[in-house]
Structure 1
């Protein structure tokens, strides 16, 4: 075939395009499982970081992925709740028989692209235990600071409720008010990303309010039942009643 003819050029280009497409499709197929596992490992590591676990995976484990999966299986339970007809993912962390944390996934839009993260609440369903945030394309040194430990550490021990009112956590330009348990400092020069993160936390955590209310009511009911059981188990006598009031009783002879 005359290589100078247009037909040759067309056939050559077509064959080349088909071959490249086949190679790319084959590569995507062969790498699919590995890519899915990498995504799963990254997600699990972020969930663990929200409760201060797995942060030393790189230093301690030769098999980083295996270490993260082991820690995740040991401490984290995946669950799904239903709110308003919508299924919402939730992660529950149990360190021991006493320490229990509720980890809420977060997702939103920053200045230049998606932002996401996880926030862990203590057993009181109010106090933040830990948080982790990440982004796709925020500006280095500005909005990208949401992914730094220094920024994330501010959220520890903050509270999302003011009494019975859900207030979330404000990310305040110019600095949080001293002693305010519902505010953290915004990023200097990263106001838009800071406000986007504030909105993300409020919106995403807000989706779980019905579930949290149910948990709190169940806990209050449990305490009430325990209190009633204690009262029944301990007979109230004249002596114990007055003693509880702070007075001394001399038993009758």
Structure 2
């Protein structure tokens, strides 16, 4: 065939498209299991980090199985759903359902002689979804640690919710106010409360008010779904209503 002909050029282009498509498809199929495994282990890392356990992906599953004592899926009344795997619950999909049909995963951990409750969260930032995990001490009131992430917040502004210095502000904050109401922790612009851990407030990120409001709403809204569960546990001393 004449290599200078239009037919040759057309056939060559089609062949290249097919080769590239097959190569990309093969690569995607080959790497998909590895990608899913990395996501699974990263999730374990995030859950563990809320109670102060830092690990790499290689050791994440071992430590997760060691320190996470229970994985429970709850309904909106705080009753356990025995047929739903907590780790596999996708909050992005759950939030699109009526509250009565949603599943609420919670992880119970024991680390360094202390018990913790770890709940996943998901909400909305300025541009797109934000999410994370929050660990409560065994009083179901005091925050042990948090981790936040986002899909599209602005670098240097809303994206700062992923930084240690911002997440550290939540450590030892309370989610119930003095009247026993679950109010979460508010991210407040111009906060002047210093190191007060009993006012349910932390300082915001400069220039990221809407993202901070998203964090505030996410914490309160998601944790309120676990109130029935906390009330059913006799060892919880905090007054909840």
- Answer yes or no: same fold by TM over 0.5: yes
- In the alignment, is residue 81 of structure 1 matched against residue 74 of structure 2? yes
Residue 46 of structure 2 corresponds to: 46
1:70 paired residue number: 62
Partner of 2:80: none
Deviation at 1:197, TM superposition (A): 1.2
Aligned residue for 1:3, secondary structure, equals: coil
Check the 8 A contact 2:2/2:8 in 1, yes or no.
yes
Instruction: Give the Cα–Cα distance (whole angstroms) in 2 for the partners of residues 196 and 220 of structure 1.
Output: 28
| Partner SS, residue 42 of structure 2 | helix
C-alpha deviation, 1:119, in angstroms: 0.5
Q: Match of 1:26?
A: 26
3-state SS of the aligned residue for 1:2?
coil
Larger radius of gyration: 1
Q: Which whole-Å CA distance do the structure 2 matches of 1:86 and 1:190 have between them?
A: 30
Identify the structure with the greater helix proportion.
1
Deviations 1:108-132, CA, capped at 9 Å, x for gaps: 2222333211100111111111111
In the TM superposition, residue 220 of structure 1 has moved relative to its aligned partner by 6.4
Do the aligned partners of 2:187 and 2:212 also contact (CA within 8 Å) in 1? yes
Q: CA-atom RMSD, angstroms?
A: 2.0
Contact 1:157–1:181 under 8 Å retained in 2: no
Task: Pick closer, same or farther for the CA change 1:150–1:42 going to 2, 3 Å.
Answer: same
Structure 1 residue ranges without an equivalent (≥5)? 58-63, 222-253
Whether the aligned pair in 2 keeps the contact of 1:126 and 1:161 (CA below 8 Å) is yes
**Distance in structure 1 (CA, Å) of the matches to 2:222 and 2:52:** 21
- State the secondary structure of the residue aligned to 1:192: helix
Q: Quickly say closer, same or farther: Cα 1:140–1:38, change in 2 above 3 A.
A: same
Name the structure 2 match of 1:8. 8
Tell whether the 8 Å contact from 2:139 to 2:236 is kept in structure 1 after alignment: no
Given that 2:176 and 2:184 are in contact with CA atoms closer than 8 Å, whether structure 1 keeps it comes out as: yes
In structure 2, what is the equivalent of residue 109 of structure 1?
Answer: 124
The number of residue pairs the alignment matches comes to 210
Q: How does 1:1-253 map to 2 (within 5 A)?
A: 1-54=1-54, 57=55, 64-76=56-68, 77-83=70-76, 84-95=100-111, 99-162=114-177, 163-178=179-194, 179=196, 180-215=198-233, 218-219=234-235
- Contact map agreement 2:230 2:236 (CA 8 A) in 1: no
1:153-173 deviation line (CA, Å, top 9, x unaligned): 111111111233111111000
TM-score, normalized by length of structure 1? 0.76
The higher relative CO (CA closer than 8 Å, separation ≥ 6) is in: 2
SS at match of 2:148: strand
Q: Is residue 51–residue 111 contact of structure 2 (8 Å, CA) maintained in 1?
A: no
